[in-house]
Amino acid sequence: MIEISFGKLVLLALVALIVLGPEKLPGVARTAGALLRRVRSGWDNVRAEVEREFEIEEIKRTAREAAARAEALQSQLNDGVQKVREPLAGALDEAAAMVRPKTPAIGDGAETGTEAGDDPSSQVQAELPLDAPAPAEPNRDHSA
């Protein structure tokens, strides 16, 4: 920036007074002051806009970093869930295999498809015809 000392400023004012004269000097000083205010105002606006842009870029950078951290945490969580899910799925398959009844092969002579130790209700259900009406329950009138 240009350095103007007090002595240089006084010398500049004397030259302006001699060149412009005492009648025009106040009008020129007002015009120069207004021009200087506009330049400062424009400079301040540009500086504020640049600062806002830097703030916006910093916010965007922070948001990108937060999204990256969230994505990393999500993948860690998914890995942890997968590590827990695999042993549980194996244990569930083993438990289901233990509980599941053995089904006979087709054509081995079994009429109902059940073994002797299976649930009796499935045997009764297999013996009833599908299109016959269900047997009526006896009238249980307890008002005697």
Q: How far apart are CA 17 and CA 11, in angstroms?
A: 10
Residue pair 25/17 in contact (Cβ under 8 Å)? The answer is yes
Which residues neighbour 134 within 8 Å (Cβ) at sequence distance 6 or greater? 128
Q: Which residue has the tokens 């412009």?
A: 20
Per-residue pLDDT of the chain in tens (144 residues, 90 and over written 9): 577 788 888 888 888 888 888 888 889 889 989 999 999 999 999 999 999 999 999 999 999 999 999 999 999 999 999 998 888 888 888 888 888 766 655 655 545 544 545 555 544 455 545 555 555 555 555 554
Q: Taking the domains of the chain in order of start, what are their residue ranges?
A: 12-53, 55-98
pTM assigned to the model: 0.41
